[in-house]
Amino acid sequence: MKYIYIVAGGPERLIPDLAAAVHPEVSWVGVDRGVVYLADRGMKMEEAIGDFDSISEREREDLQTRHNELKIYPSEKDKTDTELALDWAISRNPERIRIYGATGGRLDHFFANIYLLMKEFECSIPIELEDRFNFIRLLPPGNHEVESSGIFPYVSFVPAASDVEGLTLKGFKYPLENRHIPFGSTLCISNELIHHTGTVSFNSGILMMVRSRDETNIK
């Protein structure tokens, strides 16, 4: 498996066009109601994971009939359905993991899914979270190149776990040079690239990169 894309059970209106991400080298994993989202689109799943407490009994019976790979977990457990799916994906050692359907709805679920991105630093596999309006990735210390995007014009950087030291932004509308960014700072919200590529570098901490677009601009 080169890429594994996970579809969780968040609000369907926030899930982008999944058909655009279909590729022979992509394996799909459904999580709870995300299994229904994929099944309704006729997309083949490598795995279907969850306690399925967010779907009706009829939907569950239909899924069990159509998908032998359905893995049903108890509602009372030590990990969320999305974390179980992410652990399964990591065990397959793909080149990249992307999670859809993990934003919106309950804030506790959203924050938990953000923190799941920390697993990248344990497994060294890029883990991304995407919805119709945002793309989120955690960056470790070092140098990173950021390419311009017609989909997500705004780029924000937020300290994810502690202060960030020595942040330098080049090729951005609002550049920085060797700046200390305290945890909780909003200094680096809503920046923009002014060239095709920009660079982000810092010495310590973990930086959350959020690429976004406004909902009002979506037709």
Residues 70 and 164 in one domain: no
Residue written as token pair 């795995």: 47
Give the model confidence (pLDDT) of 29-77 as tens digits.
Answer: 999 889 889 988 989 888 888 877 776 677 666 676 666 566 666 566 7
Residue-wise pLDDT for 162-217, tens only, equals: 999 999 999 999 999 999 999 999 999 999 999 999 999 999 999 999 999 998 75
Say how many C-beta atoms besides its own lie within 10 A of residue 217's C-beta. 8
Q: How many domains does the chain have?
A: 2
- Split at pLDDT 50, 70, 90, the class of 78 is confident
* CATH of residue 181: 3.40.50.10240
Residue tagged 């630093």 (tokens):
121
Per residue in 80-122, pLDDT (tens digit) is 999 999 999 999 999 999 999 999 989 999 999 999 999 999 9
pLDDT at residue 149, rounded to an integer: 84
Cα 49 to Cα 71: distance, rounded to the nearest angstrom: 5
Is 114 found in the same domain as 153? no
**pLDDT band, residue 140 (cuts 50/70/90):** very high
Q: For the residues 18-29, what does the mean pLDDT come to? A: 92
Per the structure, the complete domain to which residue 20 belongs is given by 3-132
pLDDT in the model for residue 39: 86
Residues 183 and 116 in one domain: no
Q: Range with the lowest mean pLDDT among 54-58, 147-151, 155-159?
A: 54-58
CA distance linking residue 135 with residue 99, whole number of Å = 10
Do 182 and 161 contact (CB within 8 A), yes or no?
no
Q: What is the pLDDT of residue 162?
A: 93
Output the pTM of the full model: 0.89
10 and 67 together in one domain: yes
